[in-house]
């Protein structure tokens, strides 16, 4: 759930193809209660699979940043931040006249995001899926630390 405005939130859910949004929402009673009786601001949308891999992010003086450079998943809402970090890496490499270093810098600056997001996607597609929200609620400091780490 992501705040979008004073009276608007975005709700994103991971699920296998064919997942029923209403049924999945009902599995989270507190969230379901908060949005009960509200009109959706948009139509239900879905996409996937999300993982987009690239063999390389640079060739010669061309460097890919953002989604063009590959990504694990769009669920965290961190795409813009990660894309900006990649752009900063590209600029730093150009400033140092070391475009060849971009692959290494890209990997370093996106590592936490890629590892944590891949882990979350793996858990969401496993039998542990139903434990994500209860575990986050039971261990708010751990959940907060993961979110904070993603935000760096």
Q: What is the pLDDT along the chain (152 residues), one digit of tens a residue?
A: 888 888 888 888 777 777 888 999 999 999 999 999 998 888 887 766 667 788 899 998 899 998 888 877 666 667 788 889 999 999 999 999 988 899 999 999 888 888 887 787 788 778 888 888 888 889 889 888 877 776 66
Distances (CA, A) of 113 to 10, 57, 76: 21, 17, 9
Residue 28: inside a domain: yes
Q: Do 116 and 76 share a structural domain?
A: yes
Does residue 24 share a domain with residue 68? no
The answer as to whether 49 is a domain residue is no
Same domain, 68 and 131: yes
Total count of domains within the chain = 2
For residue 9, the enclosing domain spans: 2-35
Residues 31, 85: one domain? Answer: no
* C-alpha–C-alpha distance, residues 150 and 76, integer Å: 8
For residue 41, is it within any domain? no
Q: Is residue 42 part of a domain?
A: no
| Domain annotation covers residue 45 | no
- 68 and 136, same domain (yes or no): yes
């Amino acid at each position: 759930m992501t705040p979008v405005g004073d009276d608007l939130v975005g709700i994103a859910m991971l699920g296998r193809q064919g997942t029923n949004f209403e049924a999945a929402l009902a599995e989270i009673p507190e969230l379901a209660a908060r949005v009960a009786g509200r009109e959706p601001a948009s139509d239900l949308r879905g996409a996937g699979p999300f993982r987009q891999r690239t063999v390389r992010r640079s060739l010669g003086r061309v460097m890919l940043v953002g989604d063009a450079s590959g990504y694990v998943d769009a669920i965290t809402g961190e795409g813009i931040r990660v894309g900006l970090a990649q752009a900063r890496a590209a600029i730093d490499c150009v400033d140092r006249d070391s475009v060849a270093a971009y692959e290494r810098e890209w990997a370093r600056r996106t590592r936490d995001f890629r590892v944590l997001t891949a882990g979350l996607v793996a858990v969401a597609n496993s039998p542990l899926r139903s434990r994500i929200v209860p575990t986050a609620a039971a261990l708010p400091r751990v959940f907060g630390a993961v979110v904070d780490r993603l935000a760096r």
